[in-house]
Amino acid sequence: MNGPSVVLSAEGLSKRFGGLKAVQQVSFKVYAGEILAVIGPNGAGKTTLLNLLSGVYRPSEGRLTLLGRDITQSSMEARCHAGLGRAFQIVRPFGEMTVHENVTVGALFGTPGMRLAHARELAQSLLERTGLAALADRPAHELTLLQDKRMEVARALATQPQVLLLDEVMAGLRPAEAQEAVALVRSVRDSGVSVLFIEHIMPVVRDLADRVVVMDQGQVMAEGSYRDVTSNPLVVAAYLGTEPELGAGELHA
């Protein structure tokens, strides 16, 4: 019997900074069509893991496979071309360029040799999908935080990824805005792109994640459904008292 196909696979990934083991022997898989959350207390190694996946860092040990291809030593650009897209936590648009131009740059970066006219069309269709079409010709610096995040997702999607990596994209959003962002991420998944996201806001994790990987002190301490991991005593113990936004009530919300 064939199981769901693996899109991204990490095997024994480790990253040391001097004597500090920020990520230790982390293994997990992302399957086609799933939304996977990576959670954990501050300093657990989540951002370092995302940086290992997207190619900001090379691992000290371990192996990373994207669509069956070993990308452990590939550059960020090569990973992007191979199907890995990333939207950054800190939104860094080209402020003077229009929203449409910003997304067009994503398209050109993601697919070498793409014709400008095609990149512009792709950008336009993504602005429609992300609810930004009315703002296409505005300079990017005029966008609100939520609009910036939408544009960042549109720019990442313009690279035509198979897996989209999201680093705390809900941070700073009001609850109603976070709900809109949740709907956007679902629509990304529904369009056939797997999503791996780091998130501190537990209601967002509960609403969005098909599966949750919990990190603590650089290691995977639990993996499973939201319900499973939040009722795991080890996970509760790792969180309690360390994160004001993640009290016991929130964990079981």
Ligand X SMILES: Nc1ncnc2c1ncn2[C@@H]1O[C@H](COP(=O)(O)OP(=O)(O)OP(=O)(O)O)[C@@H](O)[C@H]1O
C-beta of 114: minimal distance to ligand X in Å? 33
CA angle 54, 212, 69 (to 5 degrees): 35
C-beta of 116: minimal distance to ligand X in Å? 37
Task: Give the nearer residue to ligand X in terms of CB position, either 140 or 204.
Answer: 204
Q: Half-sphere exposure (CA, 13 Å, Cβ side) for 136?
A: 16
Query: SS3 of 59, please?
Result: coil
Q: Are 212 and 223 in contact (CB under 8 A)?
A: yes
C-beta of 199: minimal distance to ligand X in Å? 10
Task: Give the nearer residue to ligand X in terms of CB position, either 44 or 209.
Answer: 44
Task: Give the nearer residue to ligand X in terms of CB position, either 17 or 94.
Answer: 17
Question: Cα separation of 197 and 168, whole Å?
Answer: 7
Q: Which residue has the tokens 């512009």?
A: 120
Question: Where do the H-state alpha helices sit in the chain?
Answer: 46-54, 76-82, 99-110, 116-129, 145-158, 175-190, 202-208, 226-230, 233-239, 248-251
Task: Give the nearer residue to ligand X in terms of CB position, either 40 or 93.
Answer: 40
Task: Give the nearer residue to ligand X in terms of CB position, either 48 or 230.
Answer: 48
C-beta of 203: minimal distance to ligand X in Å? 17
C-beta of 15: minimal distance to ligand X in Å? 8
- Residues that bind ligand X in the complex, under the rule CB under 6 A: 17, 20, 22, 40, 42-48
C-beta of 16: minimal distance to ligand X in Å? 9
For residue 46, the surrounding DSSP H or E stretch is: helix 46-54
Please list the residues that pair with 82 across neighbouring strands. Answer: none
Tokens linked to 176: 């109603």
Query: 235: Cβ–Cβ under 8 A, 6 or more apart, which residues?
Result: 214, 221, 222, 229, 251
Task: Give the nearer residue to ligand X in terms of CB position, either 44 or 146.
Answer: 44
Task: Give the nearer residue to ligand X in terms of CB position, either 40 or 62.
Answer: 40
C-beta of 153: minimal distance to ligand X in Å? 20
Structure letter (DSSP) for residue 5: P
Question: Cα separation of 9 and 27, whole Å?
Answer: 7
